[in-house]
Amino acid sequence: MSTVRAVGWTVVALVLMALAVPWFLWDSSALAAGLPVWLWWHVGWMALASVVFAVFARTDWGLGVEEVN
């Protein structure tokens, strides 16, 4: 079961990293509340990453760092 959970958290981490930089918004000059949309993407993405990390820390902290015999 811990292998499935480790793979799941790895996929979640890779998705968070892959979408952290909004390459698709860099050519956009759109503004929202006076700031560029790509900046709002960063703010929202960091909030999401914080929630995901809090869930990980409460449920599976230490997963993947156990000693292998």
Residues 20-55: tens digit of each pLDDT: 888 888 888 888 899 999 889 999 999 999 999 999
pLDDT band at 14 (very low <50, low <70, confident <90, very high): very high
Does residue 65 lie in a domain region? no
Q: How many CB atoms lie within 10 A of CB 12?
A: 14
Does residue 22 lie in a domain region? yes
Give me the number of domains the chain comprises: 1
Distance CA 30, CA 32 (A): 7
Distance CA 36, CA 34 (A): 7
Parent domain of 38: 2-59
Does residue 69 lie in a domain region? no
Does residue 42 lie in a domain region? yes
Using DSSP's 3-state secondary structure scheme, residue 53 falls into helix
Please indicate, yes or no, whether the overall pTM of this predicted structure exceeds 0.85.
Answer: no
